[in-house]
Amino acid sequence: MREIPKMARHFEPGKGWMNDPNGLCWYKGQYHAFYQYYPHQPKWGPMHWGHAASADLVHWQEQPVALYPDMPYENGGGCFSGSALEKDGDLYLLYTSVSKEHGQAQSLAISHDGKHFEKYPGNPVIPASPLDPDNKDFRDPKVFAYGDGYRMVCGAGVDGVGSVLLFQSSDLIHWEYIGPIFQSRDYGPVPECPDLFPLGDKWVLMFSRMDESRSAQFIVGDFDGERFTPGTFQQPERGTDFYAPQTFLDNKGRRIMIGWLFNWNREVPEGAVRAGALSIPRELALVNGRVYNYPVEEAQSLLAQDDPCVRREGGRLVVHNGARDLLAVEEAAVSQVDVLRDTRTCEVFLNRGETSCTFYLEGNV
């Protein structure tokens, strides 16, 4: 097991490629972060689930790989993104299995200790998309407790229409399709890594946009167990290197979000042994109807109030990555600036998370 170096404030694997955070949870006295992982090279390959654990959300230790693509229903791409939930003392992992024969389906693995994982013999538990006969774009299950059972959202896409699909279950094994809770052509062909969760007196539907923005979309609205009614569409995170965030509820009742700190279009430097990182964990709050995201209390000692990536000019506050400006706002509207600077990355928070901007450093900063 490897503890992340002190100067690197964001978790990275010892080697290989990392993307989407998966299965974020508090389980058996520790925080767990799983993630999309190709251990052999710092580039995309057949997906595994990497695993890291932490006692404080700041210091992470890399664990043995949790899921390998070793089953026939995973021979077309591996174990794609998913989520985790504790039930009766066991940890259930729901994930997208990708095979050459069946395409994308939803499968299950179970652990009794958070270290060893056994795949359900009846996988996949949802073998086909309710919308797509080709089963090409049907992925990223996010499960949550609701009432006396469970709900799960998945992303899907057919003919340019992106959909978030809702399922229900009483045991996390047998699933019934309820229907789409969101559909649009305006946010990319597939809403990736959807998440649906209560925040304040509202519900938030969050997903990652596969359009040119490559951004995280937050929709604040209402949910009754079967239907989601959109209210306001928000984008509190404005950086170039924040994608596929996922949330979980910890043992203190906090709604915590972690995102993938990288970019599909970013070139991996020659000679690199790893690529991708996890953002600093952020607590979400609903303030006057707006989603705020701000580093968890355990990480706030890492924040600084000044940084070369933030400059003030002509009545504006500008956030830049050393090569170009990423965000500009009226300086009078900003009462607080917090910056988490790393060896290669930066996260800037304005007004305690009213707006955030996450990016890799470029140029001379």
- Position 87 scores a pLDDT of 98
Q: Is 211 a catalytic residue?
A: no
Q: What's the rounded Cα separation, in Å, for the pair 98 and 79?
A: 7
Question: What is the mean predicted confidence (pLDDT) over 243-269?
Answer: 96
The residues near 245 (Cβ < 8 Å, ≥ 6 apart) are 21, 193, 195, 206, 208, 216, 237, 257, 258, 259, 260, 279
DSSP conformational letter for 73: G
- What string of DSSP letters covers 120-133? -TT--SB-S-SS-T
Q: What is the pLDDT of residue 8?
A: 61
Partner residues linked to 341 by β-bridges = 346
Is the distance from CB of 11 to CB of 278 less than 8 angstroms? yes
Tens of pLDDT, residues 85-101? 999 999 999 999 999 99
One-letter amino acid of 86:
E
CA distances from 289 to 199, 255, 351 (A): 10, 16, 15
Residue in 224, 229, 188, 195 with CA at minimum distance from that of residue 209: 188
Question: For the chain, what percent of residues have pLDDT higher than 90?
Answer: 95
End-to-end CA distance of the chain: 33
Question: Which residue among the candidates 20, 132, 137, 140 is catalytic per the annotation?
Answer: 20
Bridge pairing between strands 103-111 and 90-99: antiparallel
Could you give phi then psi for residue 237, rounded to 5 degrees? -95, 125
pTM: 0.97
**Domains in the chain and their CATH numbers?**
16-299 (2.115.10.20), 310-360 (no CATH)
